[in-house]
Amino acid sequence: MRSNPVARFAPLALSALLAAPVLSAAPLPASQRSEIDALMAMLQSSACEFNRNDTWHNAAEAKTHLLRKLDYLEGKDAVRSTEQFIELAASKSSLSGQTYQVRCGSAAAVDSKVWLTMQLKRIRSTPGTAALPVR
């Protein structure tokens, strides 16, 4: 009894097709990654706190978490711009759907999307912005 060659190689072909998106995932364009790095530097150097899933975290913990989410999205080739990073990784929890918030000093907490978008505007309007104090 001879085995069917198509049936024999079908699982291998299917595996190759499923792995193809992972193998072809491209990193963010350098200009976009530079903006995200500047945003993360601004967050980390701030005295702000980051709320995710009802727990406040310091800025360094927030940066680590958001960069982990970015790595995941880059692996899926799901993020191609700084705005997409803010929308897909830095605005809300992927698990609970709860909106992330940023609180700086005694100021009221704001949605992280608002805070990060405001910082992105500063980065784009002023060279060397990553070193500016956060307001």
pLDDT digits (tens, 9 = 90+) for 84-131: 999 999 999 999 999 999 999 999 999 999 999 999 999 999 876 554
Q: Compute and round to an integer the Cα radius of gyration of the chain.
A: 20
SS3 102: strand
SS3 108: coil
Distance CA 80, CA 91 (A): 16
Predicted TM-score of the model (pTM): 0.75
CB 89 within 8 A of CB 95: no
- List of residues 6+ apart from 41 with CB closer than 8 A: 130
Which structure tokens are listed for 38?
A: 């500047």
pLDDT digits (tens, 9 = 90+) for 20-59: 444 456 778 899 999 999 999 999 999 899 999 999 999 9
CB 109 within 8 A of CB 51: yes
